[in-house]
Structure 1
């Protein structure tokens, strides 16, 4: 007690002395007083040093940034405009639906914590909700292709929180589609640009590293535009867009030096292993010259040649929810067209083409799924940070459960050398087991569940998925379903690693039977064979198998081979018109010529049809992608070779050549030589 009183007397003396020097020593006195008041028991107090607390760092919002956002909202275009219903993902369809895009800007924070900034962004809507449109057909429909803005921002920084208001100019591109007699199929689009203004408010929060997250409401008012539709017998219509958007976004802060990390490579806040962000963008142009084509249908590869291109941009967002629990979300923008609208080849030449199909970007929530890993103990392995993969460690012996929306190929039929059309082979028959009619909507995704048991030298996985409600439909259903079971064996041959995957699959879907359709068409020659198809569709089974090998031969040289088969009796539901397929090839890294990040690939594929399937096409039937009206059957044969040149880390430029003999199995057509380029960037 006597020592404690002594310290109090000393403190009092210090305070009295400091009164005459208050401005100079105020902070030192506060630190001394704090240290004394926090001393432990009197017996230890005399031995402890006194230290001042470090000043707390305050987050600085100043600098350039770039990012992306997703949104949901609605719009009105004025009376009598018949807005298109756009897909809302998990939310109801609306005139904008699920939308998203990107933004960039600059902030300047002042000493009084006021932030002034400027931001430019572009927001793109979702594709059309086909079933909703079919329920309310009309003579025409109006829609908006995108909205762009340039806005000022005024905010106030509460350290890592910053509320703000925003406003500025806006513009958009609207179009009106004159519909066919069915009131759904678009025939004649007419379009205009419109300018206006925007205002909104939001809240931004510095999360970790250089990343900030924001929530924002934005109202957009565009000028009225009169569309003269008198040439179509419809008079005139005024399109007067009023748009409401609720946005969630992420921004990467660069600081005052644009497009460069902060000085010294340090981030503004500590990094976190509990979430990650990756992105990719891929531009893929393709073209071919005139080919032999004595007859054709709309689903035939045009004889005069063609050039088309696709462009996709994807964000890969991941978050750790709890021990072993993860959530992934992948919004994706896609625009452009495959050759002939992705028609005319069974082994189609562009692995991105099924996602495109629009002159302006369209956004979809391609993946959203939960992943739970249960470790079984024993040896562990490191997991690197990657798209849809959080860094850390996991047990080699484990059980993994996945539920949500994804592509079947995310977890099945993998191959280190031929799997990703953004990085290696482009042809559908090269990067997948082509006779596996995997369940999917139009861009190639489904909803379902996957379970996997992994051991050091093998794994077994199984999946149950939704299938389309009809062939080539964008609507998924659980009324029927698709299943697959895959066994993966890992081995080493002469100390070179390899994997063998064997899968069996079965889909139950609303399809027609080829043989029954051909027989009915022969007995009723006045009927169109494709109308018979629609009339006779019911729940039918398709089953088959695939075998998939990857084998390293020497360092930087790998071999791949696939064989797949389905029963070929009923219509293809989702993927492509192939009942039997063999493919294989080599992948060679450029280490031997001083380019270790470059890759050369060369491979080939042979695709075939069942007897019932060929008879159906020969009688004038059409499949998902092919149908010439008649058929001089030969197997479709594909040769593909590419060179992927690493420009800088994360950016590759690829030259690709494909020669396809008997396109769509027709010896009367082709051959066709397709030349492709590919620019791919990722981080």
Structure 2
């Protein structure tokens, strides 16, 4: 699961990674670009980089059993929602004709699991790339164009066993051609938006399945892609030391930012008396994750803002994000992927009602449009987001892309916040803010079963949080107190144990699945942060849930205590560097322990047996600022009693992180 939050970033050349679908002509027209720009003579010559999202469909050939891929608001298809990156160069001639070349990579959506039809095999396409020529005609602020060229892609045939598990994933590369048309529009500054259609025809190839007792399957891809994109114009000489002047006046009605984070983790062999279905492997392992996110915001009206965050994610957590309750990588999703997959992680409307009086500046940032706002205000948010975007915040431990990586460090681990597999939900949030305090509440969709990617309103989750702001010896601090409750389709630990005790032949996991019904889980968290000197701060969290019914969304923790210190590098001449040192202790309720000891499986853990001890975590990191855009982090985590099991571990986890903000 990915825990994500808002990042303070600054757009620059090379940003627009995975950028969003607000490049349609109507959107461009609605933006308040200053009137002199409309009369300017726009020139399209120069290099550019950007990103796109959209929707695709097509076919992979007869009898290929294609996987249905998610498309959110649109029907599932062989590509589902799409997104990716592009880079190119245009040259505009004196007669207004524009010739250019563009290369792009387009990734597909994740599998729509509820609509997957089980067969002996399933085919899919992982991504497509193109190198194309472009020919257009400049009509001042917009340019229609045609495009075409070379295309390639990677397809897979997933061979399934009788239970539907994938037993082999033979892949192959296929080449072909593409043709399309589109229109690009100048927005503001160096930003342009485009709407483009591409037809992609890849060569026919047959994949032999003789080793599995089946005839070969012929993959013959024909794809239709509709893309909405944003491009950042770099100018004719982007390598020049002199910054390129903006081509149009900047608009203060929209904001674009991006981030990319690559994390590598490994650990050596551990002591292991035994292991089970969800145990972290005893022999050691190395894995990596990579995410790229665009943060696009548009001011709709006074106080009204719309935000959209498409994100690509690739890679796996250690052991497929299994084996530790306090999992060491906050970027690791429960549904990892060998190749990047695109999801629209956030899309929400935010409405702020100011009450007048004193105001504060709002700097430009991700999911934040520059301007002023009343300190006394009411804010309403409706859409898709992560619960952690608005609740359980902390200045020193909240962002696994920039500070602590362990799940029990950047979140109140016993708060089973509603989320799908990547860590997001849909719902509504209301916040009343005053100068010295705030109160916020939210209602959310919950998964339709533990560890499910399907969100439902049949049941739901809610949280209320109070935040107090204060000073101790002129040093600022905050205290957040939250209470939460979720109703979900879960089983009760004590009931499952009682039924299994009547018949030793029963599998306790099958018993648990059979007794699931609408059950309540409730609890609270305390979250404190305190600056003790300039650039030095302490933080701590305490969280608890009732521990009677299964965890739905987050991780296998019923009680958690965490804390630590964060130190900026100003004292040694590195003001943008950060050192973090902290620790956490996680625990389980008595019935939860007994369930695992009887062979039960949780969301992330299950050794088949259990010699219970609290899970202990120590984490330290040094984040080294390379420049204003990139930070490199070395991180070490020491975990005792992994998955609460004294018969296994300890685990030494070494991590490296590269994080870029634009």
- Give the shorter-chain TM-score range: over 0.9
Q: Aligned pair in 2 of structure 1 residues 294, 55: CA closer, same or farther (>3 Å)?
A: closer
Q: CA deviation at 1:238?
A: 0.4
Which of 550, 562, 567 is equivalent to 2:541? 562
Would you say 1:471 and 2:450 are equivalent positions? yes
- Counterpart contact for 2:238–2:244, Cα < 8 Å: no
Q: CA deviation at 1:55?
A: 13
* Structure 1 runs not aligned, ≥5 long: 1-52
Counterpart-to-counterpart distance in 1, 2:609 and 2:500: 14
- Counterpart contact for 1:63–1:107, Cα < 8 Å: yes
Would you say 1:123 and 2:106 are equivalent positions? yes
Counterpart-to-counterpart distance in 2, 1:356 and 1:59: 45
Counterpart-to-counterpart distance in 2, 1:149 and 1:159: 27
Larger RCO: 1 or 2 (CA < 8 Å, sep 6+) = 2
Q: How does 1:1-16 map to 2 (within 5 A)?
A: none
Match of 1:599 in 2: 578
Q: CA deviation at 1:297?
A: 1.4
Counterpart-to-counterpart distance in 2, 1:443 and 1:202: 33
Q: How does 1:153-192 map to 2 (within 5 A)?
A: 153-182=134-163, 184-192=164-172
Residues 26-78 of structure 1: per-residue CA shift (max 9 Å, x gap): xxxxxxxxxxxxxxxxxxxxxxxxxxx99953101000000000020102011
Q: CA deviation at 1:298?
A: 2.7
- Counterpart contact for 2:56–2:81, Cα < 8 Å: yes
The residue matched to 1:547 in structure 2 has which SS? strand
Q: How many residues align structurally?
A: 627
Q: CA deviation at 1:259?
A: 5.6
Would you say 1:81 and 2:64 are equivalent positions? yes
Q: CA deviation at 1:355?
A: 6.3
Counterpart-to-counterpart distance in 2, 1:509 and 1:427: 26
Residues 71-121 of structure 1: per-residue CA shift (max 9 Å, x gap): 201020111001100000121111100010000000000000000000000
Match of 2:187 in 1: 207
Match of 1:531 in 2: 510
Residues 537-571 of structure 1: per-residue CA shift (max 9 Å, x gap): 11000000000001100000000000000000000
- Counterpart contact for 1:119–1:151, Cα < 8 Å: yes
- Counterpart contact for 1:338–1:356, Cα < 8 Å: no
Q: CA deviation at 1:416?
A: 0.2
Which of 553, 576, 587 is equivalent to 2:532? 553
Residues 347-368 of structure 1: per-residue CA shift (max 9 Å, x gap): 0000000266111000100000
Would you say 1:368 and 2:351 are equivalent positions? no
The residue matched to 1:648 in structure 2 has which SS? coil
- Counterpart contact for 2:175–2:203, Cα < 8 Å: yes
Counterpart-to-counterpart distance in 1, 2:187 and 2:151: 29
The residue matched to 1:409 in structure 2 has which SS? helix
Deviating more after overlay: 576-585 vs 348-357: 348-357
- Counterpart contact for 1:382–1:392, Cα < 8 Å: yes
TM-score, length of structure 2 as denominator length? 0.94
Q: CA deviation at 1:258?
A: 2.8
Counterpart-to-counterpart distance in 2, 1:648 and 1:626: 39
Q: How does 1:440-589 map to 2 (within 5 A)?
A: 440-589=419-568
Q: How does 1:31-180 map to 2 (within 5 A)?
A: 57-133=40-116, 136-180=117-161
The residue matched to 2:626 in structure 1 has which SS? strand
Counterpart-to-counterpart distance in 1, 2:277 and 2:606: 8
The residue matched to 2:66 in structure 1 has which SS? coil
Match of 2:173 in 1: 193
Q: CA deviation at 1:180?
A: 2.1
Counterpart-to-counterpart distance in 1, 2:243 and 2:323: 54
TM-score, length of structure 1 as denominator length? 0.91
Match of 1:401 in 2: 380
Match of 2:21 in 1: none
Q: How does 1:341-356 map to 2 (within 5 A)?
A: 341-354=320-333
Q: CA deviation at 1:490?
A: 0.3
Match of 1:436 in 2: 415
Counterpart-to-counterpart distance in 2, 1:172 and 1:73: 14
More helix by share: 1
Would you say 1:255 and 2:255 are equivalent positions? no
